[in-house]
Amino acid sequence: MAHLQQPHTNAAIQMSKANLFYAQSGGVTSVINASACGVIETARQHKDRIGKVYAGRNGIVGALREELIDTGKETARAIAALRSTPSGAFGSCRYKLKSVTENRREYERLMEVFRAHNIRYFLYNGGGDSQDTANKFAQFSLEQGFPITCIGIPKTVDNDLPGTDNCPGFGSVAKYVAVSIREAGLDVASMCESSTKVFVMEVMGRHAGWIAGAAGLASEQEGDAPHIILFPEIPFNREKFLNKVKRCVKKFGYCAIVVSEGAQNADGSFLVDTGGRDAFGHAQLGGVAPLIANLIKDELGYKYHWAVADYLQRAARHIASATDVKQAYAVGKAAVEFALKGKNAVMPAIIRGKGKRYTWRIGEARLADVANIEKMMPRNYICRDGFHITDAAREYFRPLIRGEDYPNFKNGLILKPSTALGGLNQDKGPYPYARAILAITILFHRHNVASC
């Protein structure tokens, strides 16, 4: 392992005031920067105990490569602006630390960097894998006699973390898909008699149908879009589905369908893995929406349109849910407070109040109980026929999309995080990510870190 940057000495490590390392992990969400904002602003309120707040350039990889962004160089205004910027301002990565026995070097490297920079707090903002990493690292650091307080910060559009009522990032995707299918549904409705009769919108959700289910909120009265939802949890039944489409078109004039990317056959295989041709007779290119649309065209002859929202849905800060933004900020804030209270290997969780009116507060979940477990939609959230959501689901989803939290615009466009973090990037040229990647590539070879 290469030498650490100077002038970090052992003396620095002995300082009573410790530094904090924050990293974003996995697929970003439209509100992950709100969590970052919560972390940094709260840490700044505790300058007696927290020294520097470092953010990892491209997540945990930034620690392995000693690419630490000193957020202290940013003005309070720049940090506040983070709250409403899309994407991951510091960069993220898809990188899972293996077990200690499988890759001890990585854990040692992290320890080395943390020691050198007097980092005693590690806040890891991600999904199940990240909570697992944080949990493992807490244990490892204890064994090494340099205990690092490891706090997970929940984040996933998939909403599949256990131990929390919902996951920051999900509410905004939920709002995006519900608003989008309402808008597109009305569009189709307004001219279905002489034009498109079937509209299919594909949404994310490989194993759990939370996102697809949330789109169901758009249907408030009989006949509203979406008319059919295809969940990963319910095996696809071709005949039942086609009959339902036909009935919808007869009754309402059109049929709006939301399909989860993870929609499955009865044998558990994905619909898109069946090797079928796509809507255009070409080799399958991925995309269950064109597959479904083509099936309907072939069997029922209806004119169709389809959309695949893909990253647009999880990146859409412009239509973020105000509830989601607040909660994303709150878990960031709570993570710092947990760390200062001496908690370890836990994650702030969102706890829903029991009353009829929606209330929530921050609770606590043990990382060991959260890591690597996917929370599926309860069966009672899906209608008996498998094609829509129940009132129980509506009650769950509804408050999560409530409220609008509009970001700042300039020249008609949403501001980039680089604009928000002007100070950080000013000396890095116009393209911080790309520059960072170049820098990382160099460090990469220098440090000889395992490839990711």
Query: Of residues 101-160, which lie at the interface with a second copy (CB under 8 A)?
Result: none
- Interface with a second copy includes 425 (CB under 8 A)? no
Sequence-distant (≥ 6) Cβ neighbours of residue 332 within 8 angstroms: 34, 35, 36, 37, 38, 39, 42, 123, 125, 153
* Nearer residue to a second copy within complex by CB, 338 or 381: 381
Report the alpha-carbon distance of residue 167 to residue 144 in Å, rounded: 32
Q: Is 369 a catalytic residue?
A: no
Q: Which stretch binds a second copy (CB under 8 A): 38-46, 87-95, 205-213, 382-390?
A: 87-95
* Alpha helical stretches, state H, 96-200: 104-116, 128-143, 170-191
- Interface with a second copy includes 336 (CB under 8 A)? no
* Nearer residue to a second copy within complex by CB, 48 or 427: 427
* Nearer residue to a second copy within complex by CB, 218 or 335: 218
Count of residues of this chain found to bind a second copy when the rule CB under 8 A is applied: 101
- CA 452 to chain centroid, in Å, comes to 20
In 170-254 the beta strands, taken as DSSP E runs, fall at 198-203, 228-230
325, 173 contact by CB (below 8 A): no
- Interface with a second copy includes 221 (CB under 8 A)? yes
Which residue in this structure is represented by tokens 């690092």?
148
Minimum distance from residue 133 beta carbon to a second copy (Å): 14
Report the alpha-carbon distance of residue 250 to residue 185 in Å, rounded: 16
- Interface with a second copy includes 332 (CB under 8 A)? no
Three-class secondary structure of residue 18 per DSSP: strand
Query: Of residues 344-363, which lie at the interface with a second copy (CB under 8 A)?
Result: none
Report the alpha-carbon distance of residue 205 to residue 61 in Å, rounded: 26
- Interface with a second copy includes 30 (CB under 8 A)? yes
| Residue 307 structure tokens | 């959309």
CA trace torsion 326, 331, 332, 338 (10° rounding):
140
Query: Of residues 265-304, which lie at the interface with a second copy (CB under 8 A)?
Result: 272, 274, 276, 278-280, 282-287, 289-291, 293-294, 303
* Nearer residue to a second copy within complex by CB, 93 or 393: 93
CA atoms lying within 13 Å on the CB side of residue 307? 17
- Out of 16, 48, 145, 222, name the contact with a second copy by CB under 8 A: 222
Query: Of residues 181-210, which lie at the interface with a second copy (CB under 8 A)?
Result: 182-184, 186-196, 199, 201
Query: What letter would DSSP give residue 321?
Result: B
- Interface with a second copy includes 326 (CB under 8 A)? no
Query: Of residues 306-325, which lie at the interface with a second copy (CB under 8 A)?
Result: 306-312, 314-319, 321
Minimum distance from residue 415 beta carbon to a second copy (Å): 9
Check 158, 160, 224, 278 and give the catalytic one. 158
- Interface with a second copy includes 71 (CB under 8 A)? no
155, 127 contact by CB (below 8 A): yes
Report the alpha-carbon distance of residue 34 to residue 89 in Å, rounded: 10
- Interface with a second copy includes 69 (CB under 8 A)? no
- Interface with a second copy includes 65 (CB under 8 A)? no
* Nearer residue to a second copy within complex by CB, 120 or 227: 227
Per-residue contact track with a second copy, 426 to 445, x per CB under 8 A?
A: ----xx-xx--x--x-----
* Nearer residue to a second copy within complex by CB, 91 or 163: 91
Report the alpha-carbon distance of residue 237 to residue 66 in Å, rounded: 52
Minimum distance from residue 400 beta carbon to a second copy (Å): 8
Instruction: Say how many residues make up the chain.
Output: 452
Beta carbons within 10 angstroms of residue 268's beta carbon = 8
* Nearer residue to a second copy within complex by CB, 208 or 291: 291
- Out of 38, 51, 56, 86, name the contact with a second copy by CB under 8 A: 86
Minimum distance from residue 79 beta carbon to a second copy (Å): 17
Q: Which stretch binds a second copy (CB under 8 A): 9-17, 131-139, 175-183, 333-341?
A: 175-183
Sequence-distant (≥ 6) Cβ neighbours of residue 273 within 8 angstroms: none
Query: What letter would DSSP give residue 264?
Result: B
Query: Comparing C-alpha atoms, which of 223, 268, 231 is closest to residue 249?
Result: 223
- Interface with a second copy includes 422 (CB under 8 A)? no
Query: Of residues 372-401, which lie at the interface with a second copy (CB under 8 A)?
Result: 398, 401
Minimum distance from residue 188 beta carbon to a second copy (Å): 7
Report the alpha-carbon distance of residue 440 to residue 154 in Å, rounded: 26
The catalytic residues are 158
